Structure 1
Amino acid sequence: MEIFLFVLLIIVVLVVIFFKLPYSKTVSEFSNVINQHIVNTKGESGFFEEKDIEDMPLPVQRYFRFCGYIGTPKMFYMKATFEDVDFKMSKDKTIKIDYTQYNFVEKPERFALINSSLYGIPFEGFDSYDNGVGSMKGSIAKVVTLFDQRGDEMDKACLVTILAECLAVPNIALQDYIKWEAIDDTHAKATINYYGISASGIFTFNEEGAMLSFRTKDRVATDMNGFTREAEWSTIICEYKEINGLKYPDKLQSIWHYEEGDSIYFNENKASISIEYY
């Protein structure tokens, strides 16, 4: 019995040490993918000009001016980070996560890393949209895969997420794979086409030009068990902040609009976002 307890203690100690080690298969995979894409990044250089936006709907033009992009360098990709964000895994389970994402301009590509814990055990997620293939993977204890979701619905969901975020990376909004349609003074429709997939949504702005929300029917709600259901999806910008003359989204949330009511599944606590352009 003493030998058994001693061996059990050794195993527990080794597990705790392993959890505290900086190495992570998911983090390593994410870093390798990002580094490879950064190395291969190319695209249009130069500065945002009035002629770039002259054919866009008026509320989108106002957005570029409101944020102060005219005359600033066009970016090749964006890095966005959140810390201690509320993330609703299910109706009754919300966790705190750190969230890091990269959006690339030349092609619609997006990668995001989730760092968190479940009952004191490391939980990590890797969302990816690369070469038209979307995936959402989650692992616990650094090595145990909880889910790895893929398929046509995931591909479209990832593509429409890039569309929703295109004005946060405004050089994406100018790319040929996104088409804009005027609606009225405070609304514009955008459609993204790539890899044979198409998705659309409506952007809402205020009269000054600030983007307030994006809403679409082209995304299916998928839970951690892989079950799907139809629902409209939106992302809203709650606040802006100004840094060196540019206005950035500061607090944003993602919402599922279910028949039984809205569910703010990302950032209900309104954690700030940090955006960097490269």
Structure 2
Amino acid sequence: MILLLTCFLYFLKYEYWWLFALAGVGASQTLILTQWPAAKYGTIPTLIILFVAVVSIADHFFEKSNSRIRDRMTTFIPADSVQLVTEEDIKNLPDPVLRWLRLSGAVGKPYIQSVEMKQKYEIKLREDQTKWFSARATQYSTIQPPAFLWSLEMRVLLFLPVKGRDSFQGGEGSMMFKMFSLVPIARATPDTEINQSALQRFLGEIAWYPSAALCPEISWEPVDDVSAKATMEFQGTKGSGVFHFDPLGNLKKFTALRYMDAGDKFVLREWQVEVIDTKEFDGIIIPSKCRATWKMDDGDWNWANFEVLEAKYH
């Protein structure tokens, strides 16, 4: 009876269905043991239900951990502000950046405090991988203080579910990916290389929240008529990258020397994100389709293609 109730709650997507599953598994297996060996094969469906329940428990706590990270981020968001980005604010920026901010629609609109996005990905986990893994991601970013939480769901080898997150908070970066939300397959904890790499990711992604170009943590210097170097320093972590534009001010790509995990060590390699297409969200024109590439010794590794499906600004 408990297992039937468990199935009903599972299909209703009740958050805590697994509590009933554990109770049902315990009761079922107790009865099976009393009728052993005649009922021994009943252990098989019981173990299947137990496995699904354990995975759901792991998934539950993984999502709760994400929620705690986001809650910490929202704690520091200032009250709603009507302060607008003005021509006076942007007048000292390099000309390519100035043209970009005007073209994006950021000038004349309120400073962005946070953005929440839904994204679609194609990912290659290895340089020699031929087929793409499809994935869905959500990202929440705050501007003051600079932070982001990116969470991903994908399946590898056709059916194995993987969940992961990448985050930047307080000047520190971290990353965790788990199969079935249970078995760690990749992990990075805060250190000099991880922190700098996460900061550079935040820096490149101001393309999605253009008014962040005016953050006090970011300084600009011109490179030429169509590119400018941005340097960001926050909580003891520092990194830089170059934004490349066309003559009109459309953002074309972001490049940076960024630390890459090479197995037993981190190595500096050029990281490039190219803008394939743009789209307007809430009156702001941002990159909607992009291609991410590592410049390797033996050629380019296009490891990710992604699309912004939704962007909500606050």
TM-score by length of 2: 0.80
Alignment of 1:1-278 (within 5 A): 3-16=39-52, 19=55, 24-42=60-78, 45=81, 46-83=83-120, 85-91=121-127, 92=129, 94-119=132-157, 120-150=159-189, 151-217=191-257, 219-222=258-261, 227-243=265-281, 245-267=283-305, 270-278=306-314
Secondary structure, in 3 states, of the residue corresponding to 1:24?
Answer: helix
The aligned amino acid for 2:106 is: Y
Kindly indicate whether the alpha-carbon contact (under 8 Å) linking 1:205 and 1:211 is maintained by their aligned counterparts in 2: yes
**Letter in structure 2 aligned against 1:186:** V
- How far apart are residue 111 of structure 1 and its match? 1.1
Structure 2 portions without partners, runs of 5+: 1-36
CA separation in 1, counterparts of 2:77 and 2:282? 26
**Letter in structure 1 aligned against 2:311:** I
Contact kept? 2:77, 2:144, Cα under 8 Å: yes
Partner SS for 1:204? strand
Q: Deviations over 1:117-149 (max 9, x none)?
A: 334233110111111221111112222222321
Residue type matched to 1:214 in 2?
A: F
Q: Pick the structure with more helix per residue.
A: 2
Q: Is the 8 A contact 2:76 2:144 kept in 1?
A: no
SS at match of 2:125: strand
Which residue identity lines up with residue 175 of structure 1 in the other structure? C
Q: Per-residue deviation at 1:256?
A: 0.4
Separation in 1 of the partners of 2:265 and 2:164?
18
Q: What is the identity percentage for the equivalent residue pairs of Structure 1 and Structure 2?
A: 24
Cα contact 2:96–2:225 (8 A) shared by 1: yes
- Bigger Cα displacement from structure 2, 166-175 vs 254-263: 166-175
Corresponding letter in the other structure for 1:112:
W
Q: Counterpart of 1:165 in 2: which secondary structure?
A: helix
Unaligned runs of 5+ in 1: none
Q: Which has the higher contact order (CA 8 A, sep 6+)?
A: 1
The letter for the 1-side match of 2:215 is: Q
Aligned-pair CA distance for 1:62: 0.4
8 Å Cα contact 1:149/1:226 also seen in 2: no
Whether the aligned pair in 2 keeps the contact of 1:25 and 1:143 (CA below 8 Å) is: no
> CA contact under 8 A between 1:221 and 1:230: conserved in structure 2?
yes
Structure with higher Rg: it is 2
Cα pair 2:152 2:164 within 8 Å, conserved: yes
Distance 2:58 2:238 in 1: 40
Deviates more, 1:12-21 or 1:237-246: 12-21
Query: Once the two structures are superposed, what CA deviation does each residue of 1:189-240 show, in whole Å capped at 9, x if it has no partner?
Result: 11011122221111100111111111111x11116x5653332101111111
> Could you tell me whether the CA contact under 8 Å between 2:193 and 2:266 is conserved in 1?
no
2:165 aligns to what SS in structure 1?
strand
Deviation at 1:171, TM superposition (A): 2.6
CA RMSD of aligned residues (A): 2.3
**2:32 alignment partner in structure 1:** none
How far 1:64 moved relative to its partner?
0.9
Deviation at 1:53, TM superposition (A): 0.5
CA shift digits 1:178-197 (9 cap, x unpaired): 00001222011110111222
Letter in 2 for 1:156: Q
